Structure 1
Amino acid sequence: MARFIFITGGVVSSLGKGLASAALGALLQARGFSVRLRKLDPYLNVDPGTMSPFEHGEVFVTDDGAETDLDLGHYERFTGVAARMTDSVSSGRIYSNVLEKERRGDYLGKTIQVIPHVTNEIKDFIAIGEDEVDFMLCEIGGTVGDIEGLPFFEAIRQFIHERPRGQCLLMHLTLLPYLAASGELKTKPTQHSVKELQSIGLAPDILLLRSEQPIPDKEREKIALFCNVRKSAVIAAYDLKTIYEAPLAYHREGLDQAVLDAFDISPAPRPNLDRWTDVMDRMTNAEGEVRVAIVGKYTQLEDAYKSIAEALTHGGMANRTRVKAEWIDAEIFEREDPAPHLQRFHAILVPGGFGERGTEGKIKAAQFAREKGVPYLGICLGMQMAVIESARTLAGLQDAGSEEFDHEAGKKRFTPVVYHLKEWVQGNQKVERKVGDAKGGTMRLGAYDAVLKPGSKVAEIYGTTAIDERHRHRYEVDIKYRDKLETCGLSFSGMSPDGRLPEIVEIPDHPWFIGVQFHPELKSKPFAPHPLFADFVRAAKEASRLV
């Protein structure tokens, strides 16, 4: 039966609970334990799938098709454990489940209340798969004191109370601000945050203190005394040069040992941190630098492309090369010539997105890369725009476009080289969708198989002709234009197993030009870089030598 670790936050948001959870999971793995990480979000959206990237950052998609919080990406990147649909839940999903049960009559006419019905639903979710792992780490979004988070904190209180003593642990992350005027680290915000927890029946076993300054012993002793935790369980969380330093940094501060001590696990298995030592060696001893332009439409918030940024870093690790990614708003190229902006880069990446805004700029970026021989990686919409560019410029379909843009305009303006996918096969079942369906969860989501053309560049990169990758999109490249496009030099080098859906396109006589309908960034890890990103950075490194 699993031991449970609940990770909460206080004082302010964005302190790094997700990173701390992921790093702790990696440290427990390093000591030989199996782990699973889980995210409980208090917002009322059923999932992040319909939330704006500017509002919430990227949507992380699991193999089984769940649209989840970006913190699950941290969990996967640090532990290598593939997240599942049961690893992410929101207040919206919890309430939706409760109301669905009420409508079915499952509660036998009882009055439905937050306690016990909502809290029971949360507890049931927390316990899913508890027999599968040694440790279950559950992060609660937001900060203690948020009104929407109260049902989750109450559910945790009940869960800890109902379990045998020593099976649950609460870790609380707070801020230790430094006042330059007085030259002091202030402990009062942490004290108030812990009192807020205690007022709802929760007491932290471990405190993580985010601080920009070293924390003296006297401050640790004061916090331990006033917050009722052991001094050895007061752990510093300093700012780091890279997030991948976190496992080693937390180990140096004694986080994993504090957790094992709290669970009375003795003798503690010795940790094997070779994986993370190697990761840091590759990052800190990089040989050279490549510049990659990311031409997107959500560039004002880097978290909108979090997994892409990290996958590029991983590709750099694979090549012992520092990747300097720069974000460029695609709309700029709808007003200006892209050449002055792009000619200083060694590679160009065009990521996914929804809607017509910025797409003509993405098309121009793809054209620049194709014509100038610059390595190009198009992901999802980035692949579609590359296909449309080839259709317009090479195949003579000057009005080539996407049904997505026609739907937005309310009239037909383009030859739909990219069309709305209305049915497809998932496993052994046929899935059907209509244009007017509700937006939530109506895309081709999750892992799908693809077959690669023998002898193609992508088959060489993957080292196989059978792959599976994660998808998140509603529109597909129309296969009926394949012959015309291949005659012009665009090869359809990856297809769905039934041959109906294009998964990968490439230009064989280009130094490196690949578009993929899926999202390879979602599977990349620092200790196992995705092969496409690793080879993309290799091509950029080769291009940098030619400049």
Structure 2
Amino acid sequence: MARYIFITGGVVSSLGKGLASAALGALLQARGYRVRLRKLDPYLNVDPGTMSPYQHGECFVTDDGAETDLDLGHYERFTGRPANKMDNITTGRIYQDIIAKERRGDYLGGTVQVIPHVTDAIKAFVLDGNDDYDFVLCEIGGTVGDIEGLPFFEAIRQLGNELPRGHAVYIHLTLMPFIATAGELKTKPTQHSVKELRSIGIQPDILMVRCDRKIPDSERRKLSLFCNVREGAVIPAYDVKSIYDVPIAYHKEGLDDEVLAAFGITGAPALDLSRWTGISETLANPEGEVTIAIIGKYTVLKDAYKSLIEALVHGGIANNVRVNIEWIESEIFEKEDPTPWLESVHGILVPGGFGERGAEGKIAAARFARLHKVPYFGICFGMQMAVIEAARNLAGIADANSTEFGEAAEPVVGLMTEWSKGNQIEVRRADGELGGTMRLGAYPARLQKGSRISDIYGSEMISERHRHRYEVNISYRERLEQAGLRFAGTSPDGLLPETVEIDDHPWFIGVQYHPELKSRPFEPHPLFASFVAAAIEQSRLV
């Protein structure tokens, strides 16, 4: 039977519960255990799909088309296990399901309440489908004391009593701030956070304490005493140079040993961290470095591009170089010449996005990359802007544009209203709902034999994750290919363009999907590995 680890947070948000959960999962996996990670989000949205990146950061998409919290990206990257729609749930989804049942009469006229109906639904989600796993790690979003999180804390409290003895462990992640004027580390925020958690009925078994400097033994003893936690179970969680150093750092502090001890597990399999130490060595001792410019719309919040950042790191690992990122807001290029900004970079990446703001700046970046022979990688919206640029400046279609921005005389990019998914036909309307209505999840694509992208993949059939509502218009294919933009990949039926490239360019590729979502530190995505390799070649020319 699976054992359950519940990870909660206190004091402030953004302490890194997702990374802590992913790193612990990696440590348990490195001992040979089968691990599953799940995220419980207390907000009322049904999913993060319609939330602004400024509000929530990246929306991570799974193979089965779920729009989920960005922490699921950490889970996948650290464990290699693909997440699915049953690994992330929100209060919105819980209430949506309960209200649907109430409308059908499933509760036989009974009063529907938070306890037991909401808490029972949360527990059912946590326990479902775990027969094949040794450990299930459940991260509770937000912090203890948040009113919207109370049903989730109550649910995991109940599970502590309902699961067999020794099958539930609680980990609480807090902050120990350093007060510069006093010259002291303060334990009081953690004490109050644990007090709040205990008032709900949950006694943490392990404390993970975020701190920017070494925690003295005296302070660890103080936390142990006042928080009713074994001294050895007070685990410092220090800042590290790379997130991929986190599993190693946590192991050195004894996290995995304390977790196993809390479950009463003795004689656990030996730990093998060799692949993590190998990644750490590569990141710490690169043979060179390259600079990639990311021309985006949400660059003030880097979490909006979390998977993209990590995929570039993985591309660097594959080539044993450090990847430096230059963040450039795309609107700048609508007012200024991009040359001073881009003439010294080794690669240009235009990521996904929505809406007209900054679109012309992205088109300008694609034009600069094409004319100056700088490696260009356009992802989703970035591919669409590259196609519009080629249509205007190579094929002579002066009015080329996207209907996402309004009516277009030449709709080179248009709203996708119908497409195939397996044996089903998906249909959308321009005035329909936004949530969950895009082309979401894994779809196959066929690549032209002999194309650059087919050579990079080493295959003519691929499957990649999508998240978009607009498509490049296939009816413009002939004119664009005659101008030099090759449609190197399409959906299997040939109706939806999936990739474009320019043959007489060092490296110019656009893809309609999001390859960054499937990149791993141990398995860098081939497109990112190839893009960084092209940037290395460019660095020798600059």
Q: TM-score, normalised by structure 1?
A: 0.98
In structure 2, give the amino acid aligned to 1:528: E
Q: Say yes or no: does 1:304 pair with 2:299.
A: no
1:220-267: CA deviation from partner (whole Å, max 9, x where unpaired): 111111111111111000011111100000000000011111111111
**Rounded Cα–Cα distance in structure 2 between residues aligned with 1:148 and 1:200:** 14
Q: Say yes or no: does 1:396 pair with 2:376.
A: no
1:516: Cα distance to partner? 0.1
**Rounded Cα–Cα distance in structure 2 between residues aligned with 1:469 and 1:165:** 42
Residue 474 (structure 2) aligns with? 479
Query: 5 Å matches for 1:59-208?
Result: 59-208=59-208
In structure 1, give the amino acid aligned to 2:134: D
1:186: Cα distance to partner? 1.2
Preserved contact between residue 24 and residue 256 of structure 2 (Cα < 8 Å) = yes
**Rounded Cα–Cα distance in structure 2 between residues aligned with 1:55 and 1:323:** 27
Residue 46 (structure 1) aligns with? 46
Residue 409 (structure 1) aligns with? none
Preserved contact between residue 220 and residue 234 of structure 2 (Cα < 8 Å) = yes
**Rounded Cα–Cα distance in structure 2 between residues aligned with 1:414 and 1:275:** 54
Residue 461 (structure 1) aligns with? 456
In structure 1, give the amino acid aligned to 2:292: V
Residue 337 (structure 1) aligns with? 337
Query: 5 Å matches for 1:5-24?
Result: 5-24=5-24
Preserved contact between residue 384 and residue 477 of structure 1 (Cα < 8 Å) = yes
1:19-72: CA deviation from partner (whole Å, max 9, x where unpaired): 000000000000000111111111111110000111111100000000001111
In structure 1, give the amino acid aligned to 2:281: D
Preserved contact between residue 61 and residue 465 of structure 2 (Cα < 8 Å) = yes
Q: CA RMSD in A?
A: 0.8
Residue 33 (structure 1) aligns with? 33
**Rounded Cα–Cα distance in structure 2 between residues aligned with 1:233 and 1:259:** 8
Residue 426 (structure 2) aligns with? 431
Corresponding residue to 2:416 among 406, 421, 429: 421
Residue 514 (structure 1) aligns with? 509
In structure 1, give the amino acid aligned to 2:222: K
**Rounded Cα–Cα distance in structure 2 between residues aligned with 1:414 and 1:228:** 69
Preserved contact between residue 402 and residue 408 of structure 2 (Cα < 8 Å) = no
Unaligned stretches of 5+ in structure 2? none
Q: TM-score, normalised by structure 2?
A: 0.99
In structure 2, give the amino acid aligned to 1:284: A
Secondary structure in structure 1 of the residue aligned to 2:398 = coil
Query: 5 Å matches for 1:358-397?
Result: 358-397=358-397
1:444-482: CA deviation from partner (whole Å, max 9, x where unpaired): 000000111111111111111111000000000111111
In structure 2, give the amino acid aligned to 1:303: D
In structure 2, give the amino acid aligned to 1:293: A
**Rounded Cα–Cα distance in structure 1 between residues aligned with 2:405 and 2:43:** 31
Residue 501 (structure 1) aligns with? 496
Q: How many residues align?
A: 542
Residue 317 (structure 2) aligns with? 317
In structure 2, give the amino acid aligned to 1:484: R
Residue 57 (structure 1) aligns with? 57
Preserved contact between residue 403 and residue 414 of structure 1 (Cα < 8 Å) = no
Secondary structure in structure 1 of the residue aligned to 2:323 = strand
Preserved contact between residue 402 and residue 414 of structure 1 (Cα < 8 Å) = no
**Rounded Cα–Cα distance in structure 1 between residues aligned with 2:184 and 2:167:** 37
**Rounded Cα–Cα distance in structure 2 between residues aligned with 1:257 and 1:437:** 52
1:181: Cα distance to partner? 2.7
**Rounded Cα–Cα distance in structure 2 between residues aligned with 1:257 and 1:465:** 46
Secondary structure in structure 2 of the residue aligned to 1:546 = coil
1:396: Cα distance to partner? 1.1
Secondary structure in structure 1 of the residue aligned to 2:464 = strand
Unaligned stretches of 5+ in structure 1? 407-411
1:274: Cα distance to partner? 1.0
**Rounded Cα–Cα distance in structure 2 between residues aligned with 1:50 and 1:326:** 28
In structure 1, give the amino acid aligned to 2:495: R
In structure 1, give the amino acid aligned to 2:295: V
In structure 2, give the amino acid aligned to 1:230: R
Corresponding residue to 2:485 among 490, 503, 506: 490
Residues 221-230 or 254-263, more deviating = 221-230
1:414: Cα distance to partner? 3.5
In structure 2, give the amino acid aligned to 1:140: I
In structure 2, give the amino acid aligned to 1:343: E
Query: 5 Å matches for 1:234-253?
Result: 234-253=234-253
